[in-house]
Structure 1
Amino acid sequence: MEIQSTTRSPEPVRVPRRFFKRFTWKQWALLLIVGIVTAVLLRPLWQNPERGVSQLFPTDQTYHYESLRALGYATTGGADVNEILHAIGEIEAGDPESWYVGWSALADRKMAEADRYQHDQIGQGNALLSAANYYRTAEFMLYANDSRKLETYRQSIAAFYRGLDALHVPYERMEIPYAGNDLDGLYFPGDSAQHGDTLILMINGYDSIKEETYFTLGQEALARGFSFMSYDGPGQGSAIREHGIPFTPNWGDVNRAVVDAVTAVHPEIKEIILVGFSMGSILATKAAAADARISMLVQYNIMYDFSLTARESMPASFAERVFTDEPRPAWVSQMLGYSMRFSSEQDWAIRHGSWVMGIDDYAEVLNQYRFYEISQDAPEVTAPVLLLAGENDHFVNATLITTTEDSFKQAASITSITYDAQSGADEHCQVGAMNLWTADFFEWVYANLN
């Protein structure tokens, strides 16, 4: 086995009055300390002066990251730089309503531009794809019970497919039978004269939608002649928004259904390169371990255990109350709700998790994270593996790349790349550096094609 390494305005949480009578002043003091420590440890990395990273939102890592995520798609037809910079200048950090207003206004502006282009289909298509990206970003911070969330998601989807049609990009929308439901898939045929018989299959993560992956990797794959596909699995995209299907850790079954469906329609597919996007790296590893049809596996940003970030940010005694199979006192979730007031990242992550996991209790949401890990799956993977990491990833500590490498005990080969700040690809999933990471990805793919 070869290993190569390269460095390169939420609603207030209401606590019942009887809650305050349960504890002595000493217990209250301990709870206060736990809350403060948790909030401090969960602070965004913008407070680290050694990062050396320019911030779009200097006081809020979450708002910076999600803005950079949208901005990065300027290289693949999903954004224009300066219009985003102007839009985010009007957004108040940490304010979900301000975020929605700013991004949806920009999306509306792009839709109006698209309507003006009656003769230039390329200009119209580009405006529509940008609008799709901006609507996706606007929807991102809305809470699940906000009626605008589904409406904005649907606006993004409609703009996206109108954009593809205007640009004459061939695609197929697929319905994939799974566990008595249909999952939505999106397939782009490659060039049969190049690598059309090789499918790059991308698995979304905690918060993506299948249409976003066209900007992330799909367009670059098509430019090189590969076929490309993504889908909304349980807890993702249309599966949770339109059908209410929550996440499941049993992703081997999910992805097998997808591979069965696409190869039945496209028997010409000879190789499948499975790419995990963020948390999708865990799901992709589970899928590759369960299906010998996977020719290569890519963790597009390493992910070993989804619970680690939350677990390591808490005092050990508090984490023991959260990550357990035993019944926990009600104050644990109430304390999490209290600490969410101090971190937009924590507030969004837990509320979003409650929705996509289908769980109301905040502590149980975090507890479910521990079932999304690869310690039992990675040793079963025999395909070549590519691991990507960023040294300033605020979700995943880049030093976990060694642990992740060591877990793939039977992989045909392991190639690891850790991006430093100077590369511009040091953030989670290399956002803002699309050209660099995709070039490294395809260089590795060409070297491993049969």
Structure 2
Amino acid sequence: MKPGNAFTITITLLITILFVISAGCTAPVQQSPASPAVTAADTPAPAADCPSLIFTDQEFAFQFLRTIGASYAGEADIGECLATASRIEEGNFESWYSEWNRTADTFRTAGDESLAAGHRVSAMEAYYRAATYYRTAEFFLHGNPADPRIVETWGKGRETFRDALALDVVPYEIVDIPYGNTTLPGYFYMVDNSGTPRSLLIVQTGFDGCQEELHPYAMEGVKRGYNVLTFEGPGQGEVIRVQHLPFRPDWENVIEPVVDYAVSRPDVDEDRIALWGISLGGYLAPRGAAYDPRIAALVADPGTYDVGQNLLRNLQEGGGVPANMTEEDLHEWLLTDPVEFNDALREAMAENTGTRWMNENGMFVFNASSPALFWAKWMEFSLDGIAEKIQCPTLVCDGATDHLDPDGMQAKGLYDHLTCEREFMEFSDEYGAGSHCQFGAFGQSFAEKFDWLDDAMGMKG
């Protein structure tokens, strides 16, 4: 069928379903019975993904969990986070920005004062925490891409993070990775300065992250004997904020130059390169690995298979679109930028912070002028017919209460289409690890995922 009047008839229900699947959290979902994860088979039913430590607003609760989770690596502190959150007006993006920015400025200043007094470690620790708080402050600002606070606050966060790095003891380089007629920003962290070729772990973020947030992953890798390369591609971090390059679905054209850069370094063992993609990176990294045989091991954290397939399934199951509609039909209709879709979705955005943030950030990182065009572009992110090309051992992760992938449909879709050596790792919420990317439970997360990676890369011991 072709898009037409049928869409208008069901537009209200369609928007209702979009409201549900793009909101910040969902009700608890049933854990899969086939779970090679970290908890026992008789684990009690998982709790909701977003515990309301301070906020009842679901999106605020999840982003607060994400921030406070950085305390595992010493890059946030629990009391500071609780005190800041207690001053934020529920669901108010401006209040969120103001309070986190104030906290960030406070500990940026504290770091400056410690450094001036000759206290290197105290300054470093204050800078790492302040960098996290700047990143958190900037998170909800993307509704107006021209807002000068986006680049200003992101810039203060990056500068503060780099000031912390300069005081740390782990060797590193700030690198520029050739990419077309420009470069991609990266950090290369080293076990030591010997120049010895070592296994390399490449870590990348996803839909809404900056690479400075990947520092805890990098430090866990360095502890285990890996050199680690993080980077930002189109749609991420500096590349969208400064270079204004939006996301692209053919991520193999991003991974190839990143690996080219890696193998050009004498301190990288070109036969032992692993790739770890976080959040939407669970699509991006597999997409890159499918076309690059130099990747020796892959972690999809969590796995993502086909954004459009999942969207269409949710709409069909709710009766929002005809049962015989195809992804191509839905994509074609969204590309017409239908006024009724945009108006209805903007109404939903005004009622729910999760829906508002999802669509505002989506329009920002895809350089889309409307919600419909954002969803149309996002539908192009598919591993259909591509996942089978992945040759390296692959770990597909999933959280039992992951609100962005209820029932693990995307993660299981990727796993089911792999033909390589593979493992599925589902985390329950018995000890708080069921969340998206296991935010708030990094101890469990790093132990299980790095143990698998060490085995796959021959790094045990």
TM-score (norm 1): 0.87
Query: Deviations for 1:107-154, whole angstroms, at most 9, x for unmatched residues?
Result: 111112112212221111010011111100100111222211110000
Matched, 1:445 2:448: no
Is the CA contact (8 Å cut-off) linking 1:195 and 1:225 kept in structure 2?
no
Give the C-alpha shift of residue 80 in structure 1: 0.6
Matched, 1:418 2:426: yes
Matches for 1:12-23 after TM superposition, within 5 Å? none
Give the C-alpha shift of residue 253 in structure 1: 1.4
* 1-structure distance, mates of 2:352, 2:375: 16
Look up the match of 2:42: none
In the alignment, which of 349, 372, 380 is matched to residue 340 of structure 1? 349
Query: Deviations for 1:232-266, whole angstroms, at most 9, x for unmatched residues?
Result: 10111111111111111111111110111122133
Q: Which moved more, 1:436-445 or 1:124-133?
A: 436-445
In the alignment, which of 352, 360, 363 is matched to residue 361 of structure 2? 352
Is the CA contact (8 Å cut-off) linking 1:210 and 1:237 kept in structure 2?
yes
Give the C-alpha shift of residue 169 in structure 1: 3.0
Q: Which moved more, 1:353-362 or 1:155-164?
A: 353-362
- Identify if the C-alpha distance between structure 1 residues 317 and 31 changes in structure 2 by more than 3 Å, giving closer, same or farther: closer
Look up the match of 2:288: 287
Give the C-alpha shift of residue 41 in structure 1: 5.9
Give the C-alpha shift of residue 89 in structure 1: 1.0
* 2-structure distance, mates of 1:377, 1:41: 25
Counterpart secondary structure, 2:91? coil
Q: Which runs of 5+ in 1 are unaligned?
A: 1-26
Matched, 1:408 2:418: yes
* 2-structure distance, mates of 1:405, 1:436: 21
Is the CA contact (8 Å cut-off) linking 1:275 and 1:284 kept in structure 2?
yes
Is the CA contact (8 Å cut-off) linking 2:70 and 2:76 kept in structure 1?
yes
Is the CA contact (8 Å cut-off) linking 1:301 and 1:429 kept in structure 2?
yes
Is the CA contact (8 Å cut-off) linking 1:39 and 1:342 kept in structure 2?
no
Q: CA RMSD in A?
A: 2.5
Counterpart secondary structure, 2:244? coil
Counterpart secondary structure, 1:211? helix
AA of the residue aligned to 1:110: F
What is the percent sequence identity of the aligned residues?
27
* 2-structure distance, mates of 1:141, 1:367: 22
Matched, 1:363 2:372: yes
* 1-structure distance, mates of 2:108, 2:311: 39
Look up the match of 2:106: 109
- Identify if the C-alpha distance between structure 1 residues 41 and 284 changes in structure 2 by more than 3 Å, giving closer, same or farther: closer
Counterpart secondary structure, 1:247? coil
AA of the residue aligned to 2:233: G
Look up the match of 1:376: 385
Counterpart secondary structure, 1:274? strand
Look up the match of 2:159: 158
- Identify if the C-alpha distance between structure 1 residues 324 and 32 changes in structure 2 by more than 3 Å, giving closer, same or farther: closer
Give the C-alpha shift of residue 403 in structure 1: 2.4
Matches for 1:206-225 after TM superposition, within 5 Å? 206-215=207-216, 217-225=217-225
Is the CA contact (8 Å cut-off) linking 1:191 and 1:225 kept in structure 2?
no
Higher RCO (CA 8 Å, separation ≥ 6 residues): 2
Look up the match of 1:433: 441
Matches for 1:388-399 after TM superposition, within 5 Å? 388-399=397-408
Query: Deviations for 1:318-376, whole angstroms, at most 9, x for unmatched residues?
Result: 59699322435322222211211122111111111111111102111111112112222
Look up the match of 1:265: 265
Look up the match of 2:33: none
AA of the residue aligned to 1:132: A
- Identify if the C-alpha distance between structure 1 residues 41 and 168 changes in structure 2 by more than 3 Å, giving closer, same or farther: closer
Is the CA contact (8 Å cut-off) linking 2:188 and 2:228 kept in structure 1?
yes
- Identify if the C-alpha distance between structure 1 residues 176 and 30 changes in structure 2 by more than 3 Å, giving closer, same or farther: closer
* 1-structure distance, mates of 2:196, 2:321: 51
Counterpart secondary structure, 2:332? coil
Look up the match of 1:174: 175
Is the CA contact (8 Å cut-off) linking 1:142 and 1:149 kept in structure 2?
yes
Q: Which runs of 5+ in 2 are unaligned?
A: 1-6, 30-44
Query: Deviations for 1:24-81, whole angstroms, at most 9, x for unmatched residues?
Result: xxx9996555555554565543666975343235422211111111111111121111
Is the CA contact (8 Å cut-off) linking 1:57 and 1:64 kept in structure 2?
yes
Query: Deviations for 1:386-438, whole angstroms, at most 9, x for unmatched residues?
Result: 111111100012432432221111x1x21211111113110000000111111
Is the CA contact (8 Å cut-off) linking 1:389 and 1:398 kept in structure 2?
no
Is the CA contact (8 Å cut-off) linking 2:207 and 2:280 kept in structure 1?
yes
Query: Deviations for 1:86-105, whole angstroms, at most 9, x for unmatched residues?
Result: 11111122211011011111
Matches for 1:301-312 after TM superposition, within 5 Å? 301-307=302-308, 310-312=311-313
* 2-structure distance, mates of 1:389, 1:434: 14
TM-score (norm 2): 0.85
Is the CA contact (8 Å cut-off) linking 1:300 and 1:429 kept in structure 2?
yes
